[in-house]
Structure 1
C-alpha cells in the first residue's frame, strides 16, 4: 500500500460526485489502506475521501480520536463506504481545513449531530450517530464524495476564509 498524492483545488475531479462501491474486494481493501497511509502522512488530518487521491469512489476514512477538541467523543477509526446522512440536527459553526486546500481555513456551518448510514469493509450495513467535531469531519468527507468542497459552504468568502497559520 502507499501514500498517494493529494489532489489540490482547482483539480476538477474534486468537484465530481463519486460512484458507489459495488465490489467489496481486495482492490477496495487496498484503496482503504492507501487512504489510511495518506491520512497518517499528514499530521493532524482527521479525514480523507477517495476522490482526494484521484479515485472517484464513495469511500472515506474518518478518525477524530487524535483530537480532543470541544470535549469530543470519538467513534475512533471509521471506514465509510457508500455513506449517507440519514438525520441531521442542530447547528455548529467551526473552523475547517482540508488537505486539498492546504493554505486556507474557513468558518463553516454544519449540523451539530448526524446519524449516518454506510457499509463497512465487508459490505455490512452500519449506522452511527456522531456529534460536534466528529460530526463535522464526517459531513466534510461526505461532501467530498458529493463533489462539494468546504469553500462551497462558506457564507462570505471575504470574511470567513483565513490563511492557515504555519508553525514557526
Structure 2
C-alpha cells in the first residue's frame, strides 16, 4: 500500500464527472487499499477517487463502523433531513453548513464486481452523499448554505 497525494481546492479534477469502473482487477484492489490508507493518514472519514486525481467512480468510507468500499455507487433512496457542519480533505481548514438526507441507501459494487446495497444514517448518510457528490464533480462548498468561521467549530 502507498499514500497518494490528495488533490486540493482549485484543481480541475474536482469539478469533473467520473467514469464508471469496468475492470475489477488487482490494480483496482491496490487503488482501494491506497485510498483507504491515504484517508486514514489524513484523519478523514471518506475519500473519492477524484481526490487522488483519478476520474473513476470509486469511494472509500470509514466513519468508525468499519471500512466501506463503493464502486460505481448510486443513491437509490433517501429520507429525512439533517443540517450540519462538513469539511473535506481537499479543502483543508474549510467547513460549511450542508443539508443532507438523514438516511441514505446506496447500490454499488464491491472490489470483485458484486452488486450490493448498504444503508446509513446521520454521519454515514452524510459521508455517502458527500463522496458520491465528488464523483459527479460537486464539492461541499457549492452545497453549503454558509461557510463557518474557525471559532464557530469550537462551540
Q: TM-score range by the shorter chain?
A: over 0.9
Q: Is the 1:120–1:126 Cα contact (8 Å) retained in structure 2? A: yes
When the two chains are superposed, the root-mean-square deviation of aligned CA atoms in Å is 1.5
| Corresponding residue of 2:143 | 153
| Corresponding residue of 1:64 | 63
Q: What is the 5 A alignment of 1:22-61?
A: 22-43=22-43, 45-61=44-60
TM-score w.r.t. the length of structure 1 is 0.87
Q: What is the 5 A alignment of 1:103-118?
A: 103-118=93-108
Q: Deviations over 1:114-166 (max 9, x none)?
A: 111000010000101111111001110000011000011112xxxx2124569
Question: Which 4+ residue blocks in structure 1 deviate beyond 6 angstroms?
Answer: none
TM-score w.r.t. the length of structure 2 is 0.94
Corresponding pairs, count:
153
Q: Deviations over 1:43-98 (max 9, x none)?
A: 2x100001000011000001101xxxxxxxx4x21000000000111111010000
Q: Unaligned stretches of 5+ in structure 2? A: none
| Corresponding residue of 1:132 | 122
Q: Is the 1:93–1:107 Cα contact (8 Å) retained in structure 2? A: yes
Q: Unaligned stretches of 5+ in structure 1? A: 66-73
| Corresponding residue of 1:162 | 148
Q: What is the 5 A alignment of 1:56-95?
A: 56-65=55-64, 74=65, 76-95=66-85
For residue 111 of structure 2, the aligned residue among 121, 143, 146 is: 121
Q: What secondary structure sits across from 1:39 in the alignment?
A: helix
